[in-house]
Amino acid sequence: MNPMFRHRRRPPDDTAGRRSHGRSDAPADPPLAAESLSLQVPFSFDASLAARLARREVNQKEAFTIRDGQGVFYRASLKELGPSGGTAVPYERMACSPEPVVEITLACAVLARQRMIFVMQKATELGVSAVVPLLTACSVQPAGLEHEKAHAWPGQIVRAAKQCRRSSLPAVLPPTPLAAFLASHAASSADLCLFLDDRGDAAQVAANSPQRIVLFVGPEGGFTDAERAALKARARPWTLGGRVLRAETAVLVGLAAIHLGWGDFRGP
């Protein structure tokens, strides 16, 4: 099976909440505090931050991640939350940012047997900025999206972000045909576009510190010859070892490889 890579710019947070077949096409930026925060010192926040916490399903007495005016990330406990604002108490200063240092869009063919739920969870933990469910010749087709619980994908992202202490939420785009995404601004504006390919060579992809990367992962059965040709016109094939991976495994390996090469997992 063939996997692949690609990227997308993120729209502002105020368009959040529009969902259809798993759609949540605006990511939620990290909660921000205008002032510097101090441990165990309560702070108040406005309606904008309250709305972001509500979107993250943060309830009273629960913890969330916030960045203060100095760019420092804290874990804070929510004390009060209402439409006009609320209060919270920072209780832990985080040693490093939980946010990725590169912007990654995962373009993954819609997988059967509800494996897209797993993809949404793990892609969030591995720091993607957006997920594009792709419609390809061998992927789940639009008529099957209800059975795959596409409506539940945004909720899986919210829960995964809470678990891994991320402060931002990746965007979930509506299921998109491969050809349409390849023709989109998101594809053409990426610094690096890659697709995992079990028929290519294992040569390293040369790139100078890309900041916006798109990763494509194919379905069971892989991409057709025509789809591979279309991908090659936009993206570089990338082979990671000599084994044929399941599509959901390819997602994990591909994202980890990106972080090792250009992102969070690089050494000092």
Counting Cα atoms < 13 Å in the Cβ hemisphere of 178 gives 32
> Which pair of structure tokens corresponds to residue 254?
């591909």
Nearest CA to 43 out of 8, 85, 73 is that of 85
Q: What is the pLDDT of residue 14?
A: 33
- In order along its 268 residues, the chain shows pLDDT tens digits of 333 333 333 333 333 333 344 445 655 666 888 789 999 999 999 999 999 999 999 999 999 999 999 999 999 999 999 999 999 999 999 999 999 999 999 999 999 999 999 999 999 999 999 999 999 999 999 999 999 999 999 999 999 999 999 999 999 999 999 999 999 999 999 999 999 988 766 556 666 899 999 999 999 989 999 999 999 999 999 988 888 899 999 999 999 999 999 999 986 6
Q: What is the pLDDT of residue 206?
A: 63
Q: What is the pLDDT of residue 266?
A: 82
63-94 pLDDT per residue, tens:
999 999 999 999 999 999 999 999 999 999 99
Whole-angstrom Cα distance, residue 71 to residue 245? Answer: 39
Whole-angstrom Cα distance, residue 58 to residue 243? Answer: 41
Amino acid at 226: A
Whole-angstrom Cα distance, residue 129 to residue 166? Answer: 11
**Structural domains of the chain, with CATH:** 13-27+99-262 (3.40.1280.10), 43-93 (2.40.240.20)
Q: What is the pLDDT of residue 32?
A: 85
Whole-angstrom Cα distance, residue 248 to residue 107? Answer: 12
Whole-angstrom Cα distance, residue 197 to residue 205? Answer: 13
8 Å CB contact between 31 and 52: yes
Strand partners, 213: 192
Q: What is the pLDDT of residue 6?
A: 32
Q: Which residues of 173-200 are buried (b: 16+ CB within 10 A; e: fewer)?
A: bbbbebeebbeeebbeebbbbbbbbbee
